[in-house]
Amino acid sequence: MTAAIQLDGLRRDFGERPALDGISLRLERGQTLLVLGPNGAGKTTLLRVLSTLLRPSGGRVAVLGCELPGESWRLRGRVGYLGHEPLLYRELSGRENLRFHARLHGLRGDAAERRIDSLLTDAGIARRADERTDALSAGMRRRLAICRCLLHDPELLLLDEPESHLDSEGRELAAALLGAGERTRVVVTHDPERALAGAGRVLVLSHGGVAVRECAAAELATAEARAAIAGVPA
């Protein structure tokens, strides 16, 4: 069976500056990869390359059996991407935003409405789903973004600090929603205590997008993970 993600010497440059410099790893289907590193280490860039939003500058990238960038069109719709921006239109309500995204992903009619209702309820925002999103708090918008990310039942989740802006209740709901099923996950986080427990593998990036460690999550102590996030040796 092909790996969920196979990277061989992935490079991504912004002009002369390398953001990812020779990343190699293999992630099996159903596994969770935790990506750790200080600010500017290329974590978000890695997620954007895996999601097809950025083209790799070099190396080989295969995601769910699709070679990128050549087969990006085969991958779109199979990935749920949760970035820093919620990708929601401010002047539309939460429900209208989800209907819009559902339609873009080919979900229509009663099936789409049931899926939207179910996600809104599970995320604890059903009662505020008909308010414009610019009237919602950042935490509420984050919950909506999680619904948007899961709407089309993606095989691969790319999550950039999924718990940011969330209160403790929101974190529990998000963990239940994003952790359900046998999906493959790539998670960027600054909270390794919670994330390490559910992770299968860990990738530690340092400044300049260099992979300083790639190992099983069990091999990485929380203190080492904290040091990796701070960008200092453990």
Partner 1 sequence: MSAASPPVTPSRDAFVAILAKDLRSELRTLRSLPVMVLFAVTTFVIFRFGLDRTSLSGSLAAGVLWATLLFAAILGTGRLFVAEREEGGFDAIRLAPIDRTVLFAAKATALLVYLAALELVTVPVFAIFFLDSAAPLGPLCAVLALADVGLAATGALISSMAVNSRARDLLVPLVLLPLVVPLMIAATAATEPLLEAGGPAYDRFGLWLAVLGLYDLVFLLVGYAVFDFLLED
- The DSSP symbol for 55 reads -
Q: Which of residues 57-116 bind partner 1 (CB under 8 A)?
A: 64-66, 73-79, 81, 83, 85-92, 96, 100-101, 103-106, 108
Instruction: Between 103 and 207, name the residue whose CB sits nearer to partner 1.
Output: 103
Burial string for 42-72 (b: 16+ CB within 10 Å, else e) reads bbbbbbbbbbbebebeebebbbbebebeeee
153 binds partner 1 (CB under 8 A): yes
Instruction: Between 42 and 192, name the residue whose CB sits nearer to partner 1.
Output: 42
15 binds partner 1 (CB under 8 A): no
Residues 6+ apart with CB under 8 A from 47: 35, 81, 83, 158, 159, 160, 186, 188
179 binds partner 1 (CB under 8 A): no
Return the SS3 of 33: strand
Instruction: Between 72 and 230, name the residue whose CB sits nearer to partner 1.
Output: 72
> Which tokens is 182 given?
């046998």
> Which tokens is 116 given?
């939207």
3 binds partner 1 (CB under 8 A): no
Question: What is the helix (H) or strand (E) element at residue 57, kind and residue range?
Answer: none
In this chain, which stretch among 31-39, 117-125, 175-183, 219-227 interacts with partner 1, using CB under 8 A? 175-183
Binding residues for partner 1, rule: CB under 8 A, are 51-55, 64-66, 73-79, 81, 83, 85-92, 96, 100-101, 103-106, 108, 132, 148, 153, 155, 181-183
